[in-house]
Amino acid sequence: MIGILITVFVVAFLILFSGNSFRPKYYRLLAIFPLILFLYFGYFMMNLQEESSLLLHYKWIPSLGINLDFKLDGLSMLFSLLITGIGTLIYFYASDYLKNAHYLNRFYCYLTLFMGSMLGLVLSDNLMTVFMFWELTSITSFFLIGFNNEEESSRKSAMTAFAITGLGGFLLLAGFLLIANITGSFSIQELMSSREILQNNSMYILILIFIFGGAFTKSAQFPFHFWLPGAMAAPTPVSAYLHSATMVKAGIYILARFSPILSDGYIWNNTLMIVGGITMIYGAFHSIFRTDLKEILAYSTVSALGIIVFLLGIGTDYALYAAVTFILVHALYKATLFLTAGIIDHAVHTRDITKLTGLGKYMPVVAIAAFIAALSSAGVPLTFGFISKDLIYESTLNFPQWGVYLTIFAVTTNVLLAGSGFLAGVKPFLGEPIQKPSRLHKPSVFLWLPVVILSLLTLIFGIFPFLADDGILNHAFTSIAVRETELYLKLWHGFNTVLILSIFTIIFGLFLFVFNRYLRTPLQNVLKLEPVSPQSLTESFGEFFKKFAFNYTRLMHNGYLRNYLIVIILFITGLVGYRLITTVPLQLITEDLSGFSIYELTFFIIILVSIFYTLKTTSRLTAIASLGVIGYCLCLIFVFYGAPDLAMTQFAIDTLTVVLFVLVLFKLPGFLPFRNKKIIFRDAVISLSFGTLIMLITLQSLVYPASKEISHFYAENAYILAKGKNVVNVILVDFRGFDTLIESVVLSIAALGVYGILKYRGINEEAD
């Protein structure tokens, strides 16, 4: 399994480094790669008939419990087949749709990286690897959504999607860390037996908040939904892939995977029902009033994701079976409609449904495929959507509490989705064409074949539902419910309430479709609420934060080093001084202090004289020399108190510092004496305050007994663990090697910065 993921990422970077060495038509061959992966997972699907799951374990960081564990069960198999199967069609479709695009190698690299990230996410059985691949999906989707980076709308959409999903990733990580801290394990397989431990813990509610935050942002649940319609600025193949079968269902996958672990039958379930219910109504309502094909599909996708979350919240056998079925149903018909929208846009260069009619005469194959997808969206018999819709109604009707109200919500949502499905899949192909046939670009086989395949699967699974049921959906249900079920998909449920509701849904969906142009007027009233919509509120907060950041930066980061030092010193003085005065009983006199020796007093006087010269001199070189004298005197004081190795280290540092100061200051303009008495007084007060604080800390360190545990540890283990006899060197290089490394990196970066400034100045002087 890990070999498959490594191969995907290697192929992605090989595509990137290929540059423009391939002609656009050769990129069609790349569809073979996801097809091979699809067949690979299809082979393992046959093994699920004998075993419930396949678990693979690879050690990574075993000391922390972080390993590359992968689990292939019904749920991960369902998503893996969607990712690779629809991915194959997207590769095939994009090879013609984007044949004139620049940087086609980058696009396919991003697409392949995204596919590998999604596979890693759904296959991982370790919390940290799940998070790692989760973040990779956010990063790669950012590049895909913003692929047309010359357009401002694409850049803005990519940034919005990345910001929202990035926030969710942070919350998800916090939830995972809390779970691991409570259970002592990062393994999802082991967490299955820790359900009671988590639910009885005082941090359970906080865990739910974090997990919900991650899942809801990724799967565009209200109020985080607005990034998904905005992401329609992406190329159509990206929209079809990310927003029908993969990225937006990553959050759904997390909720489904953790349902058997975190579901308590009350907080978990009710939250999912409420959020999912609001999202599905909100998205469906907006989808019926939009006129852009991709906007219609985007809002209907938001609604569909809400339906799945709603069903996971209900949590009964019918609901969970309906959820896994609808995941597949939605992926098939929504990918078909997205690809159809791309074909239409490619042919007539518009997606406005008020301007699209009569295209069925010129692309009948695409029209038939779109009709089938629209019928599946409405739940018409003999389509896969009909079976899924029946399961949804069975779930709500059989719910022990509020069954009637939940059914009303479900029916209302499906009526609206049926109407929007007809608008997207039927409206553009009926009537007389507005444009002349000569202006139409008929789709090639690379564009219409993926649409036909997806629509045929919608029909095949609708007429023969056992093909999807026995092969994968039953196992996906078992993975979520952790129990077997006697439920199965069937074409005919008899004459019952569910059938009546289905007929009602289709009829009123057709009504919304036929009279849609008369119903758009209410949208104008809805648009009045735009200032208080989640998107507007989020953007307003973003603008406020930008203004705050600008003002803060102008105040605190104004480019003057002296101001930075003042802020740092004042903060340390205030914080440490307050803590020292309020919590430490100050003791300034002690009998343990030894008296001054003559040489100590001599060097102390030299330090005072050097400080005086540093402050009063008008020469930079004199100031640097005085500072060097202070440093060397401190080195000698270290020698007096028995630390010659530390003195030698300090001596080398002081020497290097003096040399660097001389080299840098030599390039600066002439010295300007500063005579502002107010600023001099301010600096004197700050200096005295900070010096007094250091004096008090030093005196208290001499008064209070020192703990020798750390010193003894280093002394006892320096040679045993690090094979070094010089304890100080061992501490710097081994025990605290990362500190030393980071300090070296900081110094190197600072040196490069100084060199760059000097070099830039030199270039300007030569230009002058």
Task: Give Dmax (Cα) for the chain.
Answer: 109
CB-based burial label for 63 (10 Å; 0-12, 13-18, 19+):
exposed
Q: Judge if the upstream peptide bond of residue 223 is cis by omega within 30 degrees of 0.
A: yes
* pLDDT on residue 552: 85
* pLDDT on residue 524: 63
* pLDDT on residue 99: 82
* pLDDT on residue 17: 84
pLDDT along the chain (768 residues), means of 10: 86 83 77 91 74 76 82 90 93 87 86 93 92 93 87 86 90 94 89 88 93 92 86 86 84 93 89 94 89 89 94 91 93 92 86 85 90 92 91 89 88 93 90 65 85 93 88 86 82 81 91 80 67 77 86 80 87 90 74 70 88 82 87 86 80 84 73 73 90 86 75 81 80 81 86 77 51
Q: What number of other Cβ atoms are within 10 A of residue 710's Cβ?
A: 11
Task: State how far the Cα of 54 lies from the Cα of 128, in Å rounded to an integer.
Answer: 20
- Per-residue tokens: 251: 């959050």
CA angle 258, 263, 268 (to 5 degrees): 105
* pLDDT on residue 320: 92
Q: Which residue has the tokens 């916090």?
A: 174
Q: What number of other Cβ atoms are within 10 A of residue 8's Cβ?
A: 22
pLDDT tens-digit series, residues 626-665 = 888 988 898 888 888 777 877 888 888 888 888 888 877 7
* pLDDT on residue 471: 74
CA angle 306, 310, 315 (to 5 degrees): 150
**To 10 degrees, the CA torsion angle through 539, 545, 551, 553?**
-120
